Amino acid sequence: MRVHGIMQLIGLAMGVALATLPGRGTAATQSHAAPMLTKAEDALVCGTETLRQERAQSIPDRLLHAISLVESGRWDNDKRASFAWPWTVTAEGEGRFLPSKEAAIAEVTRLKAKGVTNIDVGCMQVNLQAHPDAFPNLDDAFDPAANVAYGARFLTELKIGTPDWETAAAYYHSQTPALAAAYKAKLIAAWKEARARNDQRSLVAAVPGFDAEPPIGMVLPTPAQDPAQLRQSVVEASKAAAAATQAERVATLARTVAERVEAKRIADAYRTARLAEYRSHKLQMADAHG
């Protein structure tokens, strides 16, 4: 294996540190310290789904992925990278990274029992108050495939009424000018970093057995003092990439029909939500002038 001479190149492919709180806040307002990742596959699932939806919905490369990182990104010190976390819940100004789907559902249930309705959930931090018909239940809301698919549909619908994808992505957070502008600046930086990181995939293509295009969220090994340690890291990373790629292929075959049905349901739910928002706005305007 040609390890000597590529150590510095592999180091260039380190992950991006995004200091953001999922949903509508920032990391500065987060009061819950993020626990260590408990399952490696949980750190990959949002990225796998955003990549799938970018291709399915013709969304620019890594844009949906960047939105997910800004919305639900959590930093892993050990891996030196940020991952969109599927079990993220944001409410009352706090972002909560829960350890499992079951824990996330339990947290939303607890919040609703308190009367809290403004809650963001999942990879794409879909707001349950603004999109009440997005998911039939919390189990679906925290299903990464359904959550990302709805976020992708929402983004593509926003693109129809905006001049470019960057503006549509800013409106994903808010259409209030000041809030949208701040979010847009943060998002563009994240998007630039995500694309730059992906460009580094060719740097490890010469390593035998290593996938030249690892799954989104996979972290390439950082430089090591000991060549043997670096060799082992690359071998382990290549095995993980191969396993994730195979799993994605199997999942893609199984979901083809289901995704078509889900896409229609999401589109219908989105239109219903937007119509409700429009009617609510009209009523507010009428009351204000009454």
Q: Which residues of the chain have pLDDT under 50?
A: 1-38, 200-225
Global confidence as pTM: 0.59
- In this predicted structure, what is the pLDDT of residue 233? 54
- State the alpha helices, DSSP H only, in 89-142: 101-113, 138-141
Range of the domain at 179: 7-288
pLDDT at 168: 95
With respect to residue 2, please indicate whether it lies within any of the assigned structural domains.
no
What pLDDT shows up at residue 245? 58
Residue 106 counted as domain residue: yes
* 202/37 Cα distance (integer angstroms): 27
Copy the structure tokens of residue 76: 């892993």
Q: Retrieve residue 56's tokens.
A: 């399915």
Distance between CA 109 and CA 131 in Å, rounded?
17
pLDDT digits (tens, 9 = 90+) for 239-253: 655 665 565 565 556
pLDDT at 242: 60
| Digit-coded pLDDT (tens) for 155-209 | 999 999 899 999 999 999 999 999 999 999 999 999 998 888 765 443 333 334 4
pLDDT at 41: 76
Q: Residue 131 in contact with residue 270, Cβ under 8 Å? A: yes
Residue 250's pLDDT is 58
CB 99 within 8 A of CB 38: yes
Residues 6 or more apart from 180 whose CB is under 8 A from it? Answer: 167, 170, 171, 173, 174
* Residue among 165, 126, 159 at smallest CA distance from 143: 126
pLDDT at 225: 43
Tokens of 90: 């944001």
Domain count, the chain: 1
Looking at residue 59, what is its pLDDT? 96
Residue 32 in any domain: the answer is yes
Any domain includes 1: no
Is residue 81 helix, strand or coil?
strand
